[in-house]
Amino acid sequence: MARVLVIEDEPGIAMVLRIALGDEGHEVTTASDGMAGLKMLSRAPHPEVVFVDLNMPGLSGRTVVEIMHGTPVLKDIPVIILSGYIPDTPCFPPKGTYNALIAKPFDLSDVIEITNYLAAKGRHSNLFNSAAAG
């Protein structure tokens, strides 16, 4: 399946995603903040899908997404935003820099479906389900 990076500062959420996506056959690594996530993104092989929480200490998820979008080797990696925030608030990265939004609290079946879809279709696909508009 796909290499997935989860950048999430809440250990319980990161663990649930790692287990659920791992059970689906994905190779999942986690980072507990934006700086750690960027360090993992700088190493090859790059992930094929990245989950990013927006509200993290230090480097925000918005900044991580903007850096990814501005970096040639990272800009084509599909990004899934994990957030309890409403889109169009200042903490959200600009539209077009991420592919999907999963609202917290989330349904694991949505997480799995979106991850599988983006892993198969790639960066140029946008998927916004009924629980995630954007």
Whether 130 is covered by a domain: the verdict is no
Task: Output 125 or 66, whichever has higher pLDDT.
Answer: 66
The amino acid present at 133, given as its one-letter code, is: A
- The mean per-residue pLDDT over the stretch 109-124 comes to 87
Give the total number of structural domains in the chain: 1
Could you tell me the pLDDT band of residue 57, with boundaries at 50, 70 and 90? confident
Report the candidate in 13, 65, 109, 23 with the shortest Cα–Cα distance to residue 131.
109
Tell me: pLDDT of 38 over 80: yes
Whether 133 is covered by a domain: the verdict is no
Whether 134 is covered by a domain: the verdict is no
Q: Which domain holds residue 60?
A: 3-121
DSSP for residue 47: P
Q: Token pair 């996506």 is at which residue?
A: 21
Q: Which two tokens stand for residue 112?
A: 């799995």
pLDDT of residue 131: 37
Tell me: pLDDT of 125 over 70: no
CATH of the domain at 115: 3.40.50.2300
pLDDT of residue 5: 98
pLDDT of residue 88: 73
Whether 37 is covered by a domain: the verdict is yes
| Residue 127 CA to its chain's centroid (Å) | 13
pLDDT of residue 78: 95
Whether 79 is covered by a domain: the verdict is yes
Whether 128 is covered by a domain: the verdict is no
